[in-house]
Structure 1
Amino acid sequence: MTSLSGTTRRTAEDLPREPAGRRGLRLAPLRGLRYVPDAVGDLAAVTSPPYDVVTRPDGLRHLESADPNNIVRLILPQARSAAARHELAAATLRDWLAAGILAPDPQPALYVYEQSRGDLLQRGVIGALGLSAPAEGVVLPHEEVMPHVVEDRAALMRATAAHLEPLLLTYRGDTDVAGAAAVIERTVATRPLLATTTEDGFSHRLWAVTGPAELAEVIDDLAGRQALIADGHHRWATYLRLQQEHAAAPGPWDRGLVLLVDTARHPLQVRAIHRLLHRMPVSAALTRASPFFRVRHLRTSLPDALRALGEAKTAGNAFLLAGDGAFHLLDRPDPALLSRTVRQDRPETWRTLDATVLHETLLPHVWGIPDTPRDIAYVHDTEEVVRQAELHRATAVILRPVREELVRTLAREGVMMPRKTTSFGPKPASGLLLRSLEVD
């Protein structure tokens, strides 16, 4: 590995070439855009969770007030219209670059990224990944996306000409320490470019890999592999849309910023993403569901209610409702209702998913709720969705997590799960590494 300090900048001709004739991941180095430590002071204060995890207004205000240069001002700019938001982000990025708050690294690199908290350790490689259509079977999406979110992210990327936060992709490496795994192991034994601990207790470290031999070792190893999108389906769909818009000539829009994690070495945690039904009180939800589901009222704590939800494995699909100060377990759905409402042209593993039954049966047919932002919010944190439901007299629908192998199996079959079914983590912190399409 070559240090970034005291080196001469190499051109693209000096970098290792992509292996020819192999159908797999095409990772390339980039000149990462990073905060200049002397300009921002506390690096943790300028980071943020990914844009779609910052769902509460008070959480957004907290990040904005943590530091005037917090990355949330780029990924979630605040203005009266969408166009104004995107232009504000672009202007902010230009100002930060001019003021030396952000600066590109002097030469292209792949970046080793480590997250740790307690016994949890995750390491991966950040780079610019060649984009591929789902039909190619190289990068596998597993969830449907919401068009309005893709449009918003696309407008933001057009305005800023930047990838502001990496996607999280997973792949299955070999059992021996070779290729990318070997480079990662050697790299983490050296001094990192940056190290910080964010307020959630996670420690983050980042290294640059610039040596031609080590870059080639990583690139060649990944060239024969397939990846699953763990987090960032909307941003991946945005990458593909913008690539099509710039299809006239090869260029930086042909790649996207990603973090690749080998789950054979660092298994990710898989959690569910819950639903908040803005205009449906719990009493109405229970009344409409009771003819088709068994309903049990649980006057207990949230941990005990979650335990009951997890134990409802033999009762078919199960959901936990909250928002009225108690918890209500729905299970044992009416088979005739499922047969009538769940589409038949999908595998049985898809038809029996809780998220499938929620979106195919409960929401449209039992509750009569359209899947629009006005009616449904998607919340990652269980305590938060309960708090929001009780605060606004709404209904929280708490789901069980899906196993990673089931996600991967459906993705390989080309079957999309309902939107926002899974939450893989830990997710990379936003603000540690950006990609400028005007620099890279």
Structure 2
Amino acid sequence: MNSSGPAEQGLRLIPFRGLRYVPERVGSLAAVTSPPYDVVVRPDGLHHLESADPHNIVRLILPQAETAAARHRQAAETLDRWLAEGVIAPDPEPALYVYEQRGETVLQRGLIGALALSPAGDGIVLPHEDVMDDVVADRAELMRTTRAHLEPLLLTYRGDDGPTGAGAVVERTTRRPPLLATTTEDGFRHRLWAVTDPAERDEIGADLSRRQALIADGHHRWATYLRLQREHSAPGPWDHGLVLLVDTARYPLQVRAIHRLLRGLPVPRALAALGDGLFRVREVAGPLPEALGALAKAAARSNAFLLAGDGRFHLVDRPDPELLARAIRADRPAAWRTLDATVLHSALLDDVWRIPDDPAHIGYIHDAAAAVEQAERLGATAVLMHPVREEVVRDLARQGVTMPRKSTSFGPKPATGLVMRSLTTD
């Protein structure tokens, strides 16, 4: 995002003593990392990560127990034990961290720090999606119990391509030997550096104080940060939240769709409900990449979705204008009313299929193949989406209009487990 407002109204990123795995105490750094908690595909992905190393970070971010209270207590006890055993240790001095992710065609660099929290709606940090209260409540209890921020959320801003400022410090830092380097199972190479020089931190601070940021990934964690801050009246560590801040003028993010798994709705019933001209429905050829190509072509002309789960692919597009007029709120900008996610939730899920908006009925899956596989295994319906353009997301966020939850997936996402933040040592 572009600079906006006086200096004191911008971003403020402060150093902290990062909690990091001690390499000598784990099999490998790659084996203890994980995708963000909401990207792990349950249960197969969870079991795979748990078996990769006994100290994998999923034992903290997705602990397994009979009740929510037991899960959170287990995560806190596990973290305390790993700290006592020296599996995880705090860095000796506070730092900001430069983080790099490199894939075959992707290079992303950014700053990890503790961001000063500001009230919602002040225009400094802009959300673009709604959140689910039960997820926020669960994440809040996990943070309260562990007294830690276990994974950074992803923020983007628009910087200057100049010789000074936050972006210039990031570039200079990557020419130094890193604190750690590892390659994860997905082929991404990760490197981390500490920025401890006061002059460089001042250079970063002066630049970021003129910026505003868009939440790219982690709306539930952001809402959790704000909730926990409100619970603590005295100034303290709850006034800051762990973030990765990426300058998309230098490193544009990729935008992908998040797909839906409708657990109680078989594909034949989903298709039958679309009769009477509510949508155009036609079967398209597979395999999955070819079907997604057909979805992309249709999405360029109208709202379009790909239904799967019965061994075939069904393209659903060209919604009935009368259905849209009846189901979609008229008091929102046109860009919001015509979003695929808006049409899906307001017209299809609420009006046509009448599916309750809760985790028992709707799952959110980032990987299309995983969504199709789960739908076929459960006799459910996978609704595959086409991604939203980033400029649409940014424009709505500037207007203060939130999109339906889980409308976008920005990436690459930071690997969880490379650096954490304790709320007791900070």
- What TM bracket, shorter-length normalisation? over 0.9
Pairing partner for 2:124 from 119, 131, 138: 138
Counterpart in the other structure of 1:250: 235
Amino acid in structure 1 at the alignment position of 2:15? P
Structure 2 residue runs without a partner (length 5+): 1-5
What are the superposed Cα offsets for residues 300-327 of structure 1, whole Å, 9 maximum, x if unpaired? Answer: 2211111111111454211110111111
Pairing partner for 1:427 from 410, 413, 418: 413
Identity of aligned residues (%): 69
Counterpart in the other structure of 2:330: 344
Alpha-carbon distance in 2 for matches of 1:299, 1:191: 50
Pairing partner for 1:214 from 180, 191, 200: 200
What are the superposed Cα offsets for residues 267-310 of structure 1, whole Å, 9 maximum, x if unpaired? Answer: 11100100000011111111101320011111322111111111
Any runs of at least 4 consecutive aligned residues in structure 1 with deviations exceeding 4 A, and if so which?
A: none
2:49 counterpart of 1:90: no
Q: TM-score, normalised by structure 1?
A: 0.94
Pairing partner for 1:283 from 268, 279, 282: 268
Q: Is the 8 A contact 2:112 2:244 kept in 1?
A: yes
Counterpart in the other structure of 1:12: none
Deviation at 1:49, TM superposition (A): 0.5
Amino acid in structure 2 at the alignment position of 1:70? N
Counterpart in the other structure of 2:181: 195
Deviation at 1:41, TM superposition (A): 3.5
Q: Secondary structure at the match of 1:22?
A: helix
Residues 337 and 25 of structure 1: CA distance in aligned 2, closer, same or farther (over 3 Å): same
2:341 counterpart of 1:355: yes
Deviation at 1:135, TM superposition (A): 1.4
Alpha-carbon distance in 2 for matches of 1:397, 1:128: 37
Q: Secondary structure at the match of 1:68?
A: coil
Residues 85 and 217 of structure 1: CA distance in aligned 2, closer, same or farther (over 3 Å): same
Q: Secondary structure at the match of 1:240?
A: helix
Q: Secondary structure at the match of 2:273?
A: helix
Pairing partner for 2:304 from 283, 304, 318: 318
Pairing partner for 2:314 from 314, 320, 328: 328
Q: Secondary structure at the match of 1:170?
A: strand
Q: Secondary structure at the match of 1:260?
A: strand
Counterpart in the other structure of 2:148: 162
Deviation at 1:405, TM superposition (A): 1.0
Alpha-carbon distance in 1 for matches of 2:190, 2:196: 20
Q: TM-score, normalised by structure 2?
A: 0.97
Alpha-carbon distance in 1 for matches of 2:177, 2:38: 32
Counterpart in the other structure of 2:3: none
Amino acid in structure 1 at the alignment position of 2:271? L
Deviation at 1:359, TM superposition (A): 0.7
Amino acid in structure 2 at the alignment position of 1:328? H
Pairing partner for 2:398 from 408, 412, 437: 412
Residues 86 and 313 of structure 1: CA distance in aligned 2, closer, same or farther (over 3 Å): closer
What is the number of equivalent residue pairs in this alignment?
420
2:251 counterpart of 1:266: yes
Q: Secondary structure at the match of 1:134?
A: coil
Q: Is the 8 A contact 2:7 2:210 kept in 1?
A: no
Map 1:291-302 onto structure 2 (within 5 A): 291=276, 292-302=278-288
Q: Secondary structure at the match of 1:119?
A: coil
Map 1:34-113 onto structure 2 (within 5 A): 34-113=20-99
Amino acid in structure 1 at the alignment position of 2:290? D
Deviation at 1:39, TM superposition (A): 1.2
Q: Secondary structure at the match of 1:135?
A: coil
Counterpart in the other structure of 2:379: 393
Alpha-carbon distance in 2 for matches of 1:252, 1:243: 9
Counterpart in the other structure of 1:173: 159
Amino acid in structure 1 at the alignment position of 2:129? E
Q: Is the 8 A contact 2:181 2:191 kept in 1?
A: yes
What are the superposed Cα offsets for residues 386-411 of structure 1, whole Å, 9 maximum, x if unpaired? Answer: 11111111100011100111101100
Q: Secondary structure at the match of 1:84?
A: helix
Q: Secondary structure at the match of 2:118?
A: coil
What are the superposed Cα offsets for residues 36-65 of structure 1, whole Å, 9 maximum, x if unpaired? Answer: 111114111110010001122121111111
Deviation at 1:345, TM superposition (A): 0.8
Amino acid in structure 2 at the alignment position of 1:282? V
Q: Secondary structure at the match of 1:96?
A: helix
Deviation at 1:412, TM superposition (A): 0.7
Q: Is the 8 A contact 2:27 2:53 kept in 1?
A: no
Residues 177 and 404 of structure 1: CA distance in aligned 2, closer, same or farther (over 3 Å): farther
Structure 1 residue runs without a partner (length 5+): 1-19
Counterpart in the other structure of 1:30: 16
